[in-house]
Amino acid sequence: MKSTEKDTRPLIILTAGGTGGHVYPADALAAELEQRGYRLALVTDSRGKDNYKGKLAEIPNYAVLAGGLVGKGKWTKIKNLFKICIGILQAGVILFRQKPVCVVGFGGYASFPCAMAAILLGIDLVIHEQNSVMSRTNRFLSKYAELIAQSFRNVKYTPPAARTVLTGMPVRQAIVSVREQPRPETASGKFRLLILGGSQGAKIFGDIIPEAVKQLDKKLQKNLTVCQQCRRDDVEKLREAYQDCPADTTISHFFNNMPELYAASHLIISRSGASSVCEIAAVGIPSILVPLPTAADDHQTGNARELSENGGAILIKQADFTAERLSQTLTELFTHPKQLEKMATQSRKAGITNAAALFADAIEKQIIRKQK
C-alpha cells in the first residue's frame, strides 16, 4: 500500500534554463542538497522542462513563460514582456502552493519569472553568478537577493552592500580527480597541446593555430602532439591544414575523454567561458586564453584575468591573436618548461574544487538557519 504520509523535509526550488553554463551549476547543487536531505524542484521555461539530464531530470520540473529582452526588436520586446508578466504569475502560484524555504536562481532569462515571484512573495532569494561580470538578469535580482554566490573573486556590478560568498563553479568530479595526478614531465622535450573552442573558437583557432604550429622550430614541431577540437564541418579542413606539419595531430569535433586529455596536456588554448576557466584552474593546467570578443559585457575577458593576473594563464585578445604572436608564445613556453611549471602551480592555486559543497554550506548557514 502506497504511503500517504506528507514529506515534511524543507523544499528548495531551483530556477535555471538555457545554456549549460546556467544549468550545470544547478544540477551540481541539486545533487549536493539532496544528499543533505532537502526536497527539490526546478522551475524553468518550455525549453528546459523534462529535457535535462542528471539530478535535474529526477526532481519535479515546472515550466513557466519567459522571454529575453536584450538585443530584441520593439515588437519582440513587447511580446516577451507579456510572457514575463504571465511567467511571474505562473511562478507565483507554484511558490504559493509549494512553500519553499528559498529559491536559488542561476541567471539567464529563464530564471527571472520565478526569482521575481520569490521577491514579491517575500521568499528568500539566492542567486549564483557564473561569470566575472554579472549578467543583466542577476544584476537586477542582486538588489533583492539575500545571498549572491560567485564563481570568481571579483565580479563587476555586484551591489556594494550585497552579501556575497565565493563558491566557485561546480566542476565534474572526473575532472577534479585529475588534480591529484602528477603533471606530465617536460624533461624529454616532448609536449602535448590541447585546443578547446567548440563553435565559439572554431574558425579563428582553425585559421591561426595550425599556422602558428608550422612556424615553430622543426625540432619543436616533431616533439609536439596537438589535440584540437573544432566544429564537425571543419574537421577535414583542419586536418589538411596540418598535413605538411611533422607534429602528431588529433582533430575531432568532440572528445569524450576529457579527464585523460587534461591529465596528459602541458598547455591548453581555449576561450574563457566560466566553465572552461574553472575547469582549467581546478585541474591546474597552464593556459593561453583568448576571450570571445562578442561575449555579453566582455565577461570572458574578466574571466580570463582571474587566471592571467595570478600567473596561471596568458591572456591574448582576439585582435592580437595572430600566428606570429602565438608561435612566439609557444616557443617561449616550450623552450622554458620551468615557466610552464610555475603557471601550473598558479593555475592550481586559483582552482576551487568543492563549489557545490561550499554553495550548499552558504545556503544552510545564511538562509536556512536564519529562518529557524
175-350: same fold as 11-170+353-371? yes
Mean pLDDT value of segment 271-290: 95
pTM of the model: 0.89
Q: In what order do the strands lie in the sheet with 267-270?
A: 248-252, 224-229, 191-196, 267-270, 287-289, 313-315
Give buried/exposed letters for 266-282 (b at 16+ CB in 10 A, else e): bbbbbbbbbbbbbbbbb
The pLDDT of residue 366: 83
Q: Which CATH architecture has domain 175-350?
A: 3-Layer(aba) Sandwich (3.40)
- The overall average pLDDT reported for the chain is 91
C-alpha–C-alpha distance, residues 60 and 28, integer Å:
16
Residue 1 has pLDDT above 50, yes or no: no
Residue 112 has pLDDT above 70, yes or no: yes
Q: Report whether 162 contacts 148 (CB < 8 A).
A: yes
Mean pLDDT value of segment 100-109: 93
The pLDDT of residue 189: 92
> Regarding the domain delimited by 11-170+353-371, which CATH topology (the fold level of the hierarchy) does it fall under?
Rossmann fold (3.40.50)
Tell me the pLDDT tens digit for each residue of 35-78: 999 999 999 987 766 667 789 999 999 999 988 776 667 788 88
Domain ranges of the chain: 11-170+353-371, 175-350
The pLDDT of residue 67: 80
Mean pLDDT value of segment 354-367: 93
The pLDDT of residue 285: 96
Strand partners for 193: 226, 267
Residues whose CB is less than 8 angstroms from the CB of residue 148 and which lie 6 or more positions away in sequence, other chains included: 126, 127, 128, 129, 138, 142, 158, 162, 163, 164, 165
Alpha helix segments (H runs only) across 284-318: 299-308
The pLDDT of residue 187: 86
Residue 201 has pLDDT above 60, yes or no: no
Nearest CA to 23 among 91, 103, 104, 106?
106
Residue 198 has pLDDT above 70, yes or no: no
Evaluate the CA torsion angle 240, 255, 253, 108 in order and state its sign.
negative
